[in-house]
Homo-oligomer: A and B are copies of this chain.
Amino acid sequence: MTKNIAIIGASGYTGAELIRLIATHPDLEIAALAANSKAGQRMDQVFPHLRHLDLPKLVTWEEIDFSAIDLCFCALPHKTSQEVIRELPKHLKIVDLSADFRLRDPEAYAKWYGNPHAATEMQKEAVYGLTEFYRDEITAARLVAGTGCNAATGQYMIRPLISAGVIGLDDIILDLKCGVSGAGRSLKENLLHAELSEGTNAYSVGGTHRHLGEFDQEFSTLAGRDVRVQFTPHLLPMNRGILATAYVTGAPDEVHGALCDAYADEPFIIPLPFGETPSTHHVRGSNFCHVGVTGDRIGGRSIVVAALDNLTKGSSGQALQNANLMLGLPETQGLMLAPCFP
């Protein structure tokens, strides 16, 4: 029951991560790889670490024969993604890794991304790809929108707490530390090794990061009222990994209990024993997310810390998990790789 896969946008980090994961997936076959700016090149020229694989040459996405494709991953930059997906065959199953179909409200999209949406009808159709919370919809979906990597991390920590009603909704603070691969393979001065290694800084401070659009949409829907969190990301000198520290009001044991209940049967989200905290070292290269809870010396406050790999669970691993569901394959197929430590 091999399924044929295409990847559009195969020359970026999330595209490469998809290929890394699919390389040991027993039921998926990579039938086409597109990257318009590098069409004609071999993948080992773009990503020499994939040299051992027998992969199709890079083509433009327009050259792909989609009639033989069961599912297409779209790993393009946002805005480009919607313009391409709009043109793809209507029957094709699609997992989009960009930001383009995460927000259901065209106005919210326009506000956070600065341009009107070019495929508003598909925006409505798309299912939000946070697997553990949209499993049934994803299984039935044609178009799934991969979540933001920061947005996924924050939701794994906070959603069960909102659902269980164990925290206050007006003073949620999310301080997030992320590795540089989340910024993609882009040539920006602040992403150079010489600028980034051995130091750290906050960015998008003050409630301006785009993933807030996802938090607002999801948390408000869940709570049945407006929820606005404070969210500050920091760039760390590491390639992979997100560590998020959430400061909430709520009884620590109830907070821990709500997370343990929510994830009791989940294969990838692992609540730690009360009082333990996770490390990005321990999820690197894997699809696992570790979540820990501690109390504070100040009563009624809880600290929740979560760790995941932004390229895997935060992006391409999530995409593959969703694709498995959409294709009727076991959800964990190809995703049980152990973290790479040290």
Contact = CB atoms under 8 A, between A and B. Distances in A.
How often does this chain occur in the complex, in copies? Answer: 4
B205 A197 contact: no
Contact of A13 (B194, B232, B284, B286): B194
B243 A200 contact: yes
B193 A237 contact: yes
A279 to B, nearest CB: 4
Interface residues of A, number: 85
A198 interface: yes
Interface string A56-89: 0000000000000000000000000000000000
Interface in A243-259: 243, 245, 247
A107 to B, nearest CB: 16
B243 A340 contact: no
Nearest to A277: B202
A47 B296 CA distance: 26
A288 B49 CA distance: 9
Contacts of A228: 297-298
B243 A234 contact: yes
A198 B240 contact: yes
A339 B214 CA distance: 32
Interface stretch (A131-139, A156-164, A169-177, A322-330): A169-177
Given A196-B193, A294-B206, A337-B24, A177 B240 contact: no
Interface of A: 13, 16, 19-20, 23-24, 47-53, 171, 173, 175, 177, 179-181, 185, 187-189, 191-203, 205-208, 212, 228, 230, 232, 234, 236-241, 243, 245, 247, 270, 275, 277-286, 288, 290, 294-298, 301, 303, 305, 307, 336-342
Contact of A277 (B203, B284, B286): B203
Given A173-B173, A245-B175, A193 B338 contact: no
A182 to B, nearest CB: 9
A49 B239 contact: no
